[in-house]
Amino acid sequence: MNRILIAEDDPRIVSFLEKGLKAAGFVTSHVSDGRSALEAMRAGDHDLVVLDIGLPMMDGFEVLSTARGSGITTPVVVLTARDSVDDTVLGLESGANDYLAKPFHFAELLARVRVRLGEGGEVSGGGVGGAPSGGAGAPALHHGDLSLDLLTRIADVGGTPVELTSREFAMLKVFLKHPGQVLSREQILAHAWGYDFDPASNVVDVYVRTLRRKIGADRLVTVRGAGYKLS
């Protein structure tokens, strides 16, 4: 039976979450500040964390970045009233596996929790344009003079190594698995992160801009009205 940690300082939301998650068959525990959340994550007794960003003592962004920096890989679903693109990107870059803005529907939260508890690891190599190479234990994706090492998560651009954030890596991997194919924003989100943002969100465009700065603006082509493709 999966154990879920609820890190939330609003008692009404805590009660709502505990009631719904327990009814769905989960075991829950609760902390109301960031330091306690981090301590609970370090203890390793939970299978998933539902984390509020606006926690006292240590906010959710700091909890996430500290936990991930310590090697803690427990899946985290962020709940927050901060729903701007900048906050969404910051939450994801800090290490969140999913991001849900308040107010939210419990059915959506439950679906995201179940997805995160059941998702597998990274798939190495394979796929269109994705034959493993570089010797045993070093799978990579290639397209022209651009390659991506799936173990180190470092890109090689014309012989120059380029470090990527976790989300840049996820997006570049999608493009390298489908070179020359036009991918819609929804397809990119689904392949890279396994869920959809609000269709009005420009988070894909934000990451395309950061990738262009790192791998070259001409490599990711905008197809007006359709999406993007790796040239």
pLDDT digits (tens, 9 = 90+) for 24-37: 899 999 999 999 99
Topology match between the domains 3-118 and 140-230: no
We find that the CATH architecture of domain 140-230 is Orthogonal Bundle (1.10)
State the Cα angle at 70 between 68 and 71, rounded to 5°: 65
Query: Which pLDDT value is given to residue 84?
Result: 56
Going by C-beta distance under 8 Å and a sequence separation of 6 or more, which residues neighbour residue 17?
6, 8, 28, 50, 106, 109
Q: What CA–CA distance (Å, rounded) separates 219 from 190?
A: 21
**This prediction's pTM:** 0.54
Torsion over CA of 111, 113, 117 and 119, rounded to 10 degrees?
Answer: 60
Instruction: Kindly list the domain boundaries of the chain, sorted by start residue.
Output: 3-118, 140-230
Q: Quick one: which H or E segment has residue 49?
A: strand 48-52
CATH superfamily of 3-118: Response regulator (3.40.50.2300)
Per-residue pLDDT tens for 135-173?
A: 334 478 899 999 998 877 889 999 999 988 877 888 899
Per-residue pLDDT tens for 36-49?
A: 999 999 999 999 99
DSSP 7-18: E-S-HHHHHHHH
